[in-house]
A and B are shown apart, each in its own frame.
Chain A
Amino acid sequence: MTAADVRGHDPGDGRVWTPSAARTPAFSADVPGRPALPALAPDRGHAAPDWSEVVEHFREGLVICDADGVVRQVSPVAERLLPEVVPGALLAAAGVTGLVAGGDFTHHGRRLRARRMPLSAGRSCWYVEDVTEIVSRADALLAERARSAFLAVVGEKLGNPLHPDRAAAAVVRLAVPTLAEVAVLVLAPRSGRSRWWRASRGDDEMPTVDSGVLAAPDLPPAIAEGLLGAEPHAVDWLVEQAVEAGWLPGLTSVEACARVVPLPGREAPVGVLLVARRATRWYDEEDVDLVRAFAARAGAALTTAVLYRDQAEVADTLQASLVPVEPAEATGVQWGTAYRPAQAGLRIGGDFYGAHRLPDGGSVFFLGDVSGKGVEAAVFTGQLRQCLHALHRVEAHPARLLRLLNDALLETTQAHDRGRFATMVLGVVRPHRDGGLTLALAGGGHLPPLVLRNSGAVEQVPLSGMLVGVVPDPRVGEVTVRLEPGETCLLYSDGITEARGGRRGHEQFGPERLVNAVTDCQRMPAPALAERIEQVTCDWLGHGDHDDIAVLALRATGPGGRTPRHLHAVPDPAATGTRGPRG
């Protein structure tokens, strides 16, 4: 039987027990002859239990008052919970205000729940229950739910940040106000300096975030200790250190309490979180557990972000070394280049070009394409450019240089057994007194260059040859081209002629369209010409995928071409500039 069952019917005439005598056997003498409970089932052969005996075991205490508000009966439980309430006195005089109002109230440190039920003859009964345990369990559950909800929000907000600075700012912002009024995150030192972020609760409840840098030796000892993975226990001097560091605006060391928790990283902590708030809300074990759970999530997010940053830095460094280097300035030559890797996000690809100055005033230049795509191809172009950089110092004859390169590559490609090879055009350009250029070209299985003549004609250089890095003694084509001042030689990769696009979306750009695109462009400066070819190709491609695209244009600037500041030296285009003074 439960209290609720009792509630369903009239507990009787109110004289079922007497207060203090409830625990004495004599009490039963007061029980009137009429049974207080409905008759038990007939098959139960036992006598009806004493009603007062049953009431004694209710969780609820009972206080019964008569119509005048005078307390008439107090059950043992009520006696214990409400010692002020005594039979014979007015209930109102007992001074238990919460009881009169009903509902939950705190009395003698216990949480009580009271409800009043009217009885017959104007009497009333107060049922009083001690709900201290229930309420604290419910509070604990709510608090736990709030913590879980907070951590869920933290997990979501931190997500997968790719930038450590942004992740750090998010961490301190999330810590306020749930964990702290002021939260400071100190990242593990990098090159001897630690960056810190701080969020403090502003007047408008929105935390304000600022940041700074500290040299590693200037870090407060508790922070330095935390960065080694220890969680400092000396809480008092922690606050003082934080105040001294200037991290707790508006809080003095006596007003504040603080905790420091390391943010777990891969090996050592990735940082340390300091949380502080007014001492009116001390950090208890549960609070610290929550801070630790928060720190674990923050640590994971920051570790990811730091790892990503480190990898991105490595990739950037490697990438920078693989991006083609712009040709060095050379007498009488105007260079023009265009470069568009297939994977634009990667910024590197399998096409390459470059030029190096020779001691005799000429330059060796090259443009080519390696088999494969993406990073692997880019790495191969890097090896190839380095090979050429070294080899051009010992061999300046284009065909012999190409054969040397072939031998060098053959060795590495055979060692790797990847069937890697390159196609390229390699040349040596030498200026003439009249402003013209002589190009000695060697072909390594690459698309033959085009020459834009002053007459408007576009010629294809009859250059043949074999892939570089495939056979030990390759056939290398050799052609010498003479450029008059203003004429241009154009080297390009098959990403242009094999660009697929057009109206049907799958048609190749082809060599004819390329020739058309540069026809009548013989007066264009080399950079503009290279850009035009890139533009026309990209227009053809539309939004389609493409191969790596590279263009290298050499224009004979004429004798005055390198000194445009001297107006007299700028050749009149109509006069072809062949007689201008040397720059």
Chain B
Amino acid sequence: MSFTVTYAEHDDGGAHLLLTGELDMSTVPELTAALDRSFATGARRILLDLTDLTFCDSTGIAAFVRGDNRAAAEGGWLRLTGATGRVDRVLRVTGLADVLGHDSDSPAPTPRTAG
């Protein structure tokens, strides 16, 4: 069981992070730290790619919500994309897919075109 955060893309104001592995109580501090670093470098629009995330529990959900709250306070947002399997199910059960989902109906622009 491991969890890693990879910075896929970075431009001024936007950050694209790839999450890999399992996100739970023991690994959530790494995500929190990565988000802190992104905010510290001035990122306000954060896209988390969950394609390779195999597990996410309520502490992971809490980290997403906290990240979005913080981004929103600075005039930005945090969105999730690519969730599959169990992670997708958790996001749908909690309704978080509707709130932080980055696909189709989301009015949130991509990091590159974000104003």
- Which A residues form the contact surface with B (CB < 8 A)? 369, 371-373, 414, 417-421, 423, 444-448, 464-467, 470-471, 474-475, 494, 498, 506, 547
Contact = CB atoms under 8 A, between A and B. Distances in A.
A367 to B, nearest CB: 14
Nearest to A372: B62
Nearest to A443: B95
Contacts of B95: 444-445, 464-467, 474-475
Nearest to B97: A466
A105 B5 CA distance: 88
Contacts of A421: 61-62, 65
B91 to A, nearest CB: 10
Given A373-B25, A494-B57, A506-B1, A466 B65 contact: no
Given A371-B58, A466-B99, A494-B57, A419 B63 contact: yes
Interface residues of B, number: 18
A464 B92 contact: yes
Interface of B: 1, 25, 57-59, 61-63, 65-66, 69, 92-96, 98-99
Contact of A445 (B25, B66, B96): B96
A135 B105 CA distance: 99
A419 B69 contact: yes
Contacts of B58: 369, 371, 423, 494
A447 B94 CA distance: 8
B59 to A, nearest CB: 7
A218 B71 CA distance: 67
A65 to B, nearest CB: 92
Given A423-B58, A466-B99, A475-B98, 13 more contacts: A371-B58, A371-B59, A371-B65, A418-B66, A419-B66, A420-B62, A421-B65, A445-B96, A464-B95, A465-B95, A466-B94, A470-B99, A471-B99
Question: How would you classify the secondary structure of chain B's contact residues: helix, strand, loop or mixed?
Answer: helix
Nearest to A466: B95
Contacts of B1: 506
Which of A414, A445, A464, A474 neighbours the largest number of chain B CB atoms within 10 Å of its CB?
A: A445
B62 to A, nearest CB: 4
Contacts of A372: 59, 62
A466 B98 contact: yes
A462 B91 CA distance: 16
B69 A417 contact: yes
Contacts of A418: 66
A446 B93 contact: yes
Given A419-B66, A419-B69, A371 B61 contact: yes
Given A419-B69, A421-B65, A471-B99, A447 B59 contact: no
Contacts of B62: 371-372, 419-421
Contacts of A464: 92-93, 95
A498 to B, nearest CB: 6
Identify which of B66, B95, B99 gathers the most chain A CB atoms within 10 Å of its CB. Answer: B95
Contacts of B93: 423, 445-448, 464
B46 to A, nearest CB: 14
A270 to B, nearest CB: 41
Contacts of A448: 93
A498 B23 CA distance: 13
A544 to B, nearest CB: 13
Contacts of B61: 371, 421, 467
A470 B66 CA distance: 9
Contacts of B25: 373
Contacts of B65: 371, 419, 421, 467, 470
Contacts of A373: 25
A471 B68 CA distance: 11
A347 B25 CA distance: 20
Interface centre among A371, A423, A444 (most CB of B within 10 A): A371
A449 to B, nearest CB: 12
A373 B69 CA distance: 20
Contacts of A466: 94-96, 98-99
Contacts of A446: 93-94
A467 B94 contact: yes
B59 A445 contact: no
Nearest to B94: A445
Contacts of B69: 414, 417, 419
B100 to A, nearest CB: 9
A474 B61 CA distance: 16
A410 to B, nearest CB: 11
B48 to A, nearest CB: 15
B31 to A, nearest CB: 12
B60 to A, nearest CB: 10
Nearest to A422: B58
29 contacts: A371-B61, A371-B65, A372-B62, A373-B25, A417-B69, A419-B62, A421-B61, A421-B62, A423-B58, A423-B93, A444-B95, A445-B93, A445-B94, A445-B95, A445-B96, A446-B93, A447-B93, A464-B92, A464-B93, A466-B94, A466-B95, A466-B98, A470-B65, A470-B96, A474-B95, A475-B98, A494-B57, A498-B57, A506-B1
